[in-house]
Structure 1
Amino acid sequence: MTAPALGEPLLSVSGMVKHFPITRGILFRSRIGEVKAVDGVDFVLHKGETLGIVGESGCGKSTLAKLLMRLEEATAGTAVYDGRDIVAAKGGELRRLRREVQMVMQDPYTSLNPRMTVGDIIAEPLIIHGVGGDRDARVRELLDLVGLNPEHINRYPHQFSGGQRQRVGIARALALNPEIIICDEPVSALDVSIQAQVINLLEKLQAELGLSYIFIAHDLSVVRHICDRVAVMYLGRIVEIGSEDEIYQRATHPYTQALLSAVPVPDPDAREHRNVIRLTGDVPSPANPPSGCRFRTRCWKATDLCAQEDPPLIPREADPHPSACHFAAQAEHIID
Structure 2
Amino acid sequence: MRADHSGRKEAREEGQEARRLLARAHAENAFAAGEAILEVRDLVKHFPLTQGILFKRQVGAVKAVDGVSFDLHKGETLGIVGESGCGKSTVAKLVTHLEEPTAGTIRYKGNDITRASGRALKAVRRNIQMVFQDPYTSLNPRMTVGDIIGEPFDIHPEVAPKGDRRRKVQELLDVVGLNPEYINRYPHQFSGGQRQRIGIARGLALRPEIIVADEPVSALDVSVQAQVVNLMERLQDEFGLSYIFIAHDLSVVRHISDRVGVMYLGKLVEVGTEAEIYEHPTHPYTQALLSAVPVPDPEAEGKRERIVLEGDVPSPANPPSGCRFRTRCWKAQQRCAEEEPLLAVPENFTDTPVDQPQRHPSACHFAAERAAVVPPAGG
> TM-score by structure 1 length?
0.97
CA–CA separation in structure 2 for the residues paired with 1:326 and 1:315: 10
Question: What letter is aligned with 2:271?
Answer: I
Contact 2:341 2:363 in 1 (8 A): yes
Contact 1:7 1:49 in 2 (8 A): no
- Alignment-derived partner of residue 207 in structure 1: 237
Contact 2:304 2:373 in 1 (8 A): no
State which of 124, 134, 156 in structure 1 corresponds to 2:151. 124
Provide the secondary structure at the position in 1 that maps to 2:359: strand
Question: What letter is aligned with 1:110?
Answer: T
- Alignment-derived partner of residue 332 in structure 1: 371
- Alignment-derived partner of residue 345 in structure 2: 315
Deviations 1:258-313 (A, max 9, x none): 00000110111111111000000000000000000000000000000000000000
State which of 269, 272, 277 in structure 1 corresponds to 2:307. 277
Say what the alpha-carbon RMSD is for the aligned residues: 1.1
Provide the secondary structure at the position in 1 that maps to 2:360: strand
Q: Among all aligned residue pairs of Structure 1 and Structure 2, give the percentage whose two residues are the same amino acid.
A: 70
TM-superposed deviation, 1:7:
4.1
Question: What letter is aligned with 1:109?
Answer: Y
TM-superposed deviation, 1:130:
1.7
Higher mean C-alpha deviation, range 313-322 or range 188-197: 313-322
CA–CA separation in structure 2 for the residues paired with 1:50 and 1:332: 27
CA–CA separation in structure 2 for the residues paired with 1:147 and 1:122: 14
- Alignment-derived partner of residue 258 in structure 2: 228
Higher mean C-alpha deviation, range 69-78 or range 130-139: 130-139
Contact 1:15 1:78 in 2 (8 A): yes
CA–CA separation in structure 2 for the residues paired with 1:193 and 1:65: 26
Provide the secondary structure at the position in 2 that maps to 1:202: helix
- Alignment-derived partner of residue 3 in structure 1: none
Question: What letter is aligned with 1:198?
Answer: V
TM-superposed deviation, 1:331:
2.3
State which of 336, 344, 348 in structure 2 corresponds to 1:306. 336
CA–CA separation in structure 1 for the residues paired with 2:362 and 2:110: 28
Contact 2:300 2:373 in 1 (8 A): no
Whether 2:77 is the aligned partner of 1:50: answer yes
CA–CA separation in structure 2 for the residues paired with 1:48 and 1:30: 46
Give ranges in structure 1 of 5+ residues lacking alignment.
1-5
CA–CA separation in structure 1 for the residues paired with 2:109 and 2:276: 29
CA–CA separation in structure 2 for the residues paired with 1:212 and 1:264: 29
Give ranges in structure 2 of 5+ residues lacking alignment.
1-32, 350-357
Deviations 1:197-252 (A, max 9, x none): 00000000001111000000011000000000000000000000000000000000
- Alignment-derived partner of residue 135 in structure 2: 108
CA–CA separation in structure 2 for the residues paired with 1:141 and 1:290: 51
Question: What letter is aligned with 1:44?
Answer: D
- Alignment-derived partner of residue 37 in structure 1: 64
State which of 76, 81, 84 in structure 1 corresponds to 2:103. 76
CA–CA separation in structure 2 for the residues paired with 1:334 and 1:44: 29
Answer 1 or 2: which has greater helix percent.
2
State which of 36, 47, 50 in structure 2 corresponds to 1:23. 50
TM-superposed deviation, 1:84:
2.0
Question: What letter is aligned with 1:203?
Answer: E
CA–CA separation in structure 2 for the residues paired with 1:71 and 1:130: 22
- Alignment-derived partner of residue 143 in structure 1: 173
Question: What letter is aligned with 1:320?
Answer: R
CA–CA separation in structure 2 for the residues paired with 1:218 and 1:278: 18
TM-superposed deviation, 1:86:
2.4
CA–CA separation in structure 2 for the residues paired with 1:334 and 1:189: 27
Provide the secondary structure at the position in 1 that maps to 2:295: coil
Contact 1:17 1:40 in 2 (8 A): yes
Deviations 1:122-141 (A, max 9, x none): 00001111233200000000
Answer 1 or 2: which has greater strand percent.
1
- Alignment-derived partner of residue 254 in structure 1: 284
- Alignment-derived partner of residue 124 in structure 2: 97
TM-superposed deviation, 1:85:
2.0
Question: What letter is aligned with 1:167?
Answer: R
Question: What letter is aligned with 2:42?
Answer: G
